[in-house]
Amino acid sequence: MPPLRIGFCGTPQFAVPTLQHLLTKSDFEVLAVITQPDRPRGRGHEVSFSPVKQVALAAHLPVYQPEKIRAPEMEELLKNLFLDFVVIIAYGQIIPARLLSIPKHGWINLHASLLPKYRGAAPINWAIASGETRTGLTTMRIDAGMDTGDILLQHELGIGPKETAPELAARMSEAGAPLIEETLRGLAAGTIIPRPQNHSEATLAPILKKEDGRIDWNRRPAQEIYNRMRGFTPWPGA
């Protein structure tokens, strides 16, 4: 049986463990990596590669960095690769509807919450800031909405009472790698039945803004302040 043909779409460190994991599997073939363009970073504003690009280059994988993934050349690229899946993790751009049907089994996303809870760009931060003691990971098939696609698999994790957002993100990124592998194998074998989300139970985890870190120290309970400090570390702080 030929290896599954995979495209990988991601940018930050959170996506790295899954890419590295897929590269160790002989029956998976990562044919292309799509990541955000190189950006100036840090105080010196030096241009640096994304963590995903660094891993891809070290593995001698083709890397594509479109300013906009909706560019016509990206559609042509994806069609010419005859992909079984595109795995997408924290990429940073919305995928246009016309690209979603190109891979045989669709675009498979790893989201850092137990959907439909905490849809959006900052699920880890908002789960901690909201005082949750448990969270989890969801693999889902991307659709035209914002984290509204059918659920494939879920994996629950606890949140430590002193755990910060970066600490939880590191644990979740490692746990996500085998979950993606299990999802891809199950979809290819036909053993996973996608299930629609219950949209009436959805909550949101929007991208963090500077004002989210502002706290009224006199009106909020101490535990709530502490939760926000853990959730909004390192930015926007609290």
pLDDT for the residue numbered 43:
76
Q: Whole-angstrom Cα distance, residue 109 to residue 122?
A: 15
Q: Does the 4-208 domain belong in CATH 3.40.50.170? A: yes
The domains of the chain are located at: 4-208
114 close to 138: Cβ distance less than 8 angstroms: yes
Q: Dihedral of CA 55/57/62/68: which sign? A: positive
For 150-161, what is the mean pLDDT?
99
pLDDT for the residue numbered 229:
95
Q: Whole-angstrom Cα distance, residue 166 to residue 164?
A: 6
pLDDT for the residue numbered 99:
98
pLDDT for the residue numbered 165:
98
Helix crossing, 16-23 with 165-189: angle to 10°?
A: 40
Over residues 39-91, the pLDDT tens digits come to 887 777 788 899 999 999 999 999 999 999 999 999 999 999 999 999 999 99
Q: Is the pLDDT of residue 238 over 80?
A: no
With cut-offs at 50, 70 and 90, classify the pLDDT of residue 37.
very high
Output the pTM of the full model.
Answer: 0.95
Over residues 167-196, the pLDDT tens digits come to 999 999 999 999 999 999 999 999 999 999
